[in-house]
Amino acid sequence: MESSPRSSVIIIGAGVSGLSAAKVLAENGIEDLLIFEASDRIGGRIRKEKFGDVSVELGAGWIAGVGGKESNPVWEIASKLGIRTCFSDYSNARYNIYDRSGRIFPSGIAADSYNKAVDSALQKLKGLESNNVEDATDRTDCSLSPKAPIELAIDFILHDFEMAGKLHDSFLLSPAWMLRKAFLFFHTEVEPISTYVDFGEREFLVADERGFEYLLYKMAEEFLFTSEGQILDNRLKLNKVVRELQHSRNGVTVKTEDGCVYEADYVILSASIGVLQSDLIFFRPPLPRWKTEAIEKCDVMVYTKIFLKFPYRFWPCGPGKEFFIYAHERRGYYTFWQQMENAYPGSNILVVTLTNDESKRVESQSDEETLKEAMVVLRDMFGPEIPNATDVLVPRWWNNRPQLDAYSLPVNTQVKDSMAMCMVDTLQVFETGKTVVEEIRRDERRNEKQSQNFLIEPLLALTLTQADAVSSLHKCDVPTQLYLSGKLGIPEAIL
């Protein structure tokens, strides 16, 4: 079994989270670190792929929260690097809802269905104000439950398009977000959540041939050795699958699938919730019950963008036509569509978004079957004479071993505590990196060789404010205190 010299810090995961933490460590002079990534690339759920003649984003694709009183740091980075983006206007989607015969629903009917959906969400929120889940359920009038195809379509958009939340178990987080999407899609006077008040209501699609991942590569260049756009630094270990973490007061031991053993003083674990809920990583000794319960309470979301290429455009284009909706008796069945002409003129590409059960179903079948289903839907909307797609691209996040989900959020916290969905990890793990730096500095000052090393809580600092000073607490007590006080509101691993 191969072993390597001891490192100060091992970071597991080279997505936005892991790289952000590594950057902070390097900026503070802690360069004795290793970064393990289970796949053959950096970026995590940020991934581009060539499709037709353009680069499309299989995962994170939008910069959400732009134009507000505070500047979104992700937007600042993208602007500095000259990343090409395209404004996404959801407000006209209500005018583009098709039934199975190809007719567009009158705006009045769409408005009535929307009002019904919002009334249902408000009833749930009233129940949540008393922190009573059963009350939230009881308050929802059965008559308000979506039944007609247009109601099911609008309900899907408000609940699932952003959250990918299951209707029966996601209402702890979805109603507030649902009202936020009502503001975007239907341009109503519903108050948006605080994140979007701060950063702004505008959302921009990344439409750059270099891809969203270009931001990560430029960030990596600041602390990893690169040449001609390639990361050549041997501190980044690709295709390195971690299978076991042994942790004690003397540090951590990391064992990988290829038989290597690594030791470090600290470890930052930025694996996805899907991975943490699986048996891929074994903890020795086992994590305490409060940590495993917190992990299990996080809802794993599956979100699939299916890309279709056509020989020519047959769908409406122009202002207010970027998004359109398909109303079907089956909730979430090829419901939400986007045409890419705004982002890539002349590309003749359509994108349809599926979530959760529909995503898993599609991932388990062949691309040919998926293409056949999608073409039936498109012919329902635009007629039998439309051409067949010449190509299809179906991402498979659910079956991707290093991911096992598309994104995740805890079901027991307010969504308003999250920022900019597409790259929410970035700021949080900057704080994680700072936490590790501070701890290392304290250990250096104490000059104790047997210092009480521990498994770092990834993203813990997200929920802390200036008033939440924790300097008086021992480092091992911080996560426990936050958990017991109900302040754990993080969209990634709780370890």
pLDDT, position 162: 53
* Residue that terminates a domain, selected from 409, 444, 470: 409
Spatial contact of 420 and 199, defined as CB atoms under 8 Å apart? yes
Please return the burial class of 279, using the count of CB atoms within 10 Å of its CB with bins 0-12, 13-18 and 19+: exposed
| 320 and 255 inside one domain | no
pLDDT, position 22: 93
pLDDT, position 119: 76
| 367 and 437 inside one domain | no
Tell me the per-residue pLDDT of 12-27, one tens digit each, with 9 for 90 and over.
999 988 998 999 999 9
> Is 415 part of any domain?
no
> Is 62 part of any domain?
no
- Calpha distance 335→326 (Å, rounded): 5
| 130 and 260 inside one domain | no
CATH code assigned at 166: 3.90.660.10
**Residues in Cβ contact with 211 at an 8 Å cutoff, skipping those fewer than 6 apart:** 46, 47, 48, 55, 57
**Residues in Cβ contact with 398 at an 8 Å cutoff, skipping those fewer than 6 apart:** 302, 304, 359, 360, 363, 404, 405, 406
Residue 139's domain comprises 90-184+300-409
| 256 beta partners | 242
* Residue that terminates a domain, selected from 367, 382, 409: 409
> Is 55 part of any domain?
no
Q: How many domains does the chain have?
A: 2
pLDDT, position 481: 43
- Residues of the chain short of pLDDT 70, as ranges, are 1-3, 121-122, 124-144, 161-195, 400-432, 446-495
| 344 and 390 inside one domain | yes
Please return the burial class of 270, using the count of CB atoms within 10 Å of its CB with bins 0-12, 13-18 and 19+: buried
**Residues in Cβ contact with 124 at an 8 Å cutoff, skipping those fewer than 6 apart:** 136, 137, 139, 140, 171, 175
**156 C-beta neighbours (distance < 10 Å), count:** 25
- pTM recorded for the entire structure: 0.77
CA–chain centroid gap for 440, Å, is: 30
pLDDT, position 456: 44
| 393 and 430 inside one domain | no
| 398 and 305 inside one domain | yes
CA–chain centroid gap for 358, Å, is: 18
| 256 and 393 inside one domain | no
Spatial contact of 242 and 279, defined as CB atoms under 8 Å apart? no
pLDDT, position 302: 84
* Residue that terminates a domain, selected from 360, 381, 409: 409
| 402 and 435 inside one domain | no
The amino acid sitting at 253 is T
Q: Residue 313: helix, strand or coil by DSSP? A: coil
Q: Classify residue 387 by its DSSP letter.
A: P
- Calpha distance 43→28 (Å, rounded): 23
CATH code assigned at 262: 3.50.50.60
Spatial contact of 196 and 65, defined as CB atoms under 8 Å apart? yes
Q: What is the DSSP pairing of strand 242-248 with strand 282-284?
A: parallel
Q: What is the DSSP pairing of strand 261-269 with strand 7-12?
A: parallel
| 448 and 307 inside one domain | no
> Is 284 part of any domain?
no
| 357 and 263 inside one domain | no
pLDDT, position 465: 29
pLDDT, position 305: 94
